[in-house]
Amino acid sequence: GLATSTAPHAWRNSPALCPLSPEAAGTKCLDRSQAPSQSAWSSRAPVLAWCDGRDQESVRKGIQGYLESEGCTPVVDMHFGTSPEFTRWLFLQPRGAIEPWAVLLVGWREAKPCAMAISAARSGDISKLRPDSRCPELQTITRNPCGEVQVAVKHMIIRVQSNSDQERRARRWARKEACSLLGKICIHVASDDHGLVRIASSLISSLPVSVGAVAESTIVSL
């Protein structure tokens, strides 16, 4: 589950990756009416959010092995089957003058719609998103952000096939179009599993964790 921590980056003797699934021990299933309140999210562990249809098990094990070897980072492992599911989760999270706490790992197919969702959460303009009757309203901006509105996601990793047209298009998109959508959110392109494990592990290790992170996994049914 989400492990309690006493200070940022002081994560020891805790599970490195906590799969967030209904079958996971101690996991709660919540519908939108029971979703954690804004104040409840003020104590949290880092999140690795997956929105990628490709096999994840070997990569997940690689990340877990790396983090365990460093003796750090209890991280919630969240899986979204589609980009709309990610959007619904994102819209339930605080935004504004906050410290982002998630790394988003996407396939090339999911990269653009997920980036559009992040852009909508940052700007408050949802007019460019596809209609979704199940999508909740955006959370009210917290505090008074100086400049850019921050959202849950700090980094996006795009998983592509090596030396492919897909990789070339992803890198070109990351350099150009994505910058206007994602603002300060850093974009990384990984073209092989070894590089993906290395990038994801490094980014997860750099995420802050709030004091008093909830010692329990939760899943919101969206």
Backbone angles phi, psi at 114, to 5 degrees: -70, -40
pLDDT digits (tens, 9 = 90+) for 162-206: 999 999 999 999 998 998 889 889 999 999 999 999 999 999 988
pTM: 0.78
pLDDT value at residue 72: 67
**Mean pLDDT of the chain, nearest integer:** 78
181 Cβ contact partners less than 8 Å away, ≥ 6 residues apart: 115, 116, 118, 119
Measured distance CA(144)–CA(84) in Å, rounded? 28
> Within a 13 Å sphere around the CA of 164, how many CA atoms are in the beta-carbon half?
12
pLDDT digits (tens, 9 = 90+) for 117-163: 999 999 999 999 999 999 999 999 988 777 789 999 999 999 999 99
Tokens of 121: 């959460």
How does strand 102-107 pair with strand 186-190?
unpaired
pLDDT value at residue 222: 58
Indicate the length of the chain as a whole number: 222
Measured distance CA(200)–CA(155) in Å, rounded? 9
pLDDT digits (tens, 9 = 90+) for 65-106: 888 888 765 688 899 999 999 999 999 999 999 999 999 999
DSSP 13: S
